């Protein structure tokens, strides 16, 4: 998910009243909700960081277990420094380090859970396993979540400022609405998976993704792989709840082509990072004289507007028979 959504979810948690459990409570919720994205600073652009992104720092070990205490310690040190500098002007509620750690854990958990919802996927058990997980419950930027959480935060803050009774209820309602919205969308994606098998083209995919649209969240752009071929389709439960409204002809992914397998063994760092990240790789082979060029892309992001951003090419020489 985008960092604005992560921030608003963390902020909404704080505005439920959690921010009053300890000084730096709001900062803990918001910063922890964004903390796993620190992995984009590692490696060189563009593919090495993407290969690690949503890996260790987004998993249950790195992002949820190990990193929150580090953030809590930094916030505690900041609080101590501010107390030394400005003293009594700090908020009147006390610094409770136990609650500070708990809020950092809660914020970090929301990040992994939200990123789990879209087709980019998460290495949830990294470094113990390199398997990627996804639920396809949200588009990577959801205007609906921005509105839900934004309103919850704005109304709750106004109520806190006026001293209203149960001031945190709007934020709590926003969190509850977010959970319901995500669960509904996960259910729609499960229906989309079933539609691929239940109606034409009666496929039996070995890998499938169903990406929600940003505004019409109930619609799904589906891509699946079966027997080395890639097919795209569209699902709309309002038009055809048990089948696809359209689908393309299957196209070979060419990943078993000997020329592609040779290219995939290249020591090129960008290519190896791309293949580690790609969930549904496909290839195009062009031979010009004694040079073979293999272009790899990911079928999840094969739309014309995205294709050039999600490709890596490798060339190697071959002998020409006389």
Question: Over the stretch 249-278, which tens digit does the pLDDT of each residue have?
Answer: 999 999 999 999 999 998 888 888 888 888
pLDDT of residue 44: 47
pLDDT of residue 89: 61
pLDDT of residue 84: 80
Q: Under a CB-based contact definition with an 8 Å cutoff, are residues 240 and 168 in contact? A: no
Instruction: List the end-to-end C-alpha distance of the chain, in Å, as a whole number.
Output: 54
Q: Is 273 helix (H, G, I), strand (E, B) or coil?
A: helix
pLDDT of residue 81: 87
Residue numbers of the chain with a pLDDT score lower than 50: 44-45
Q: Which helix (H) or strand (E) holds 189?
A: helix 169-198
Cα angle value 220/141/170 (rounded, 5°) = 110
**DSSP symbols for 53-98:** TTSGGGSIIIIIIIHHHHHHHHHHHHHHHHHHHHGGGS-SSPP-HH
Q: At 73, phi and psi to the nearest 5?
A: -65, -40
Residues forming beta bridges with residue 286, ordered by sequence position = 293
What DSSP character marks residue 116? T
pLDDT of residue 200: 85
pTM of the model: 0.89
pLDDT of residue 204: 95
* E strand residue ranges, 213-262: 220-226, 229-235, 246-247, 251-252
């Amino acid at each position: 998910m985008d960092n604005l959504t992560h921030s608003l979810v963390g902020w909404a948690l704080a505005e439920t009243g959690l921010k009053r459990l300890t000084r730096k409570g709001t900062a803990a919720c918001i910063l922890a909700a964004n903390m796993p994205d620190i992995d984009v600073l590692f490696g060189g652009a563009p593919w090495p960081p993407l290969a690690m992104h949503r890996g260790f720092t987004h998993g249950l070990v790195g992002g949820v277990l190990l990193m929150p205490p580090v953030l809590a310690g930094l916030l505690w040190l900041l609080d101590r420094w501010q107390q030394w500098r400005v003293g009594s002007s700090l908020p009147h509620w006390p610094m409770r380090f136990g609650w500070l750690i708990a809020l950092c854990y809660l914020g970090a958990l929301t990040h992994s859970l939200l990123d789990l919802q879209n087709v980019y996927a998460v290495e949830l058990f990294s470094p113990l396993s390199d398997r990627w997980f996804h639920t396809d419950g949200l588009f990577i930027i959801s205007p609906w979540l921005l509105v839900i959480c934004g309103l919850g935060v704005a109304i709750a803050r106004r109520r806190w400022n006026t001293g209203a009774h149960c001031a945190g209820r709007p934020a709590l309602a926003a969190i509850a609405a977010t959970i319901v919205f995500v669960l509904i969308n996960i259910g729609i994606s499960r229906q989309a998976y079933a539609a691929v098998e239940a109606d034409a083209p009666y496929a039996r995919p070995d890998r499938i993704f169903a990406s929600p649209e940003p505004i019409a969240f109930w619609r799904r752009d589906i891509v699946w792989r079966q027997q080395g071929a890639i097919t795209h389709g569209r699902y709309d439960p309002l038009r055809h709840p048990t089948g696809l409204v359209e689908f393309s002809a299957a196209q070979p992914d060419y990943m078993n082509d000997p020329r592609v397998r040779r290219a995939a063994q290249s020591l090129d760092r960008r290519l190896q990072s791309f293949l580690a990240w790609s969930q549904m790789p496909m290839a195009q082979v062009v031979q010009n004289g004694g040079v073979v060029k293999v272009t790899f892309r990911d079928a999840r992001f094969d739309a014309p507007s995205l294709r050039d951003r999600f490709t890596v090419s490798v060339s190697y020489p071959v002998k020409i028979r006389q």
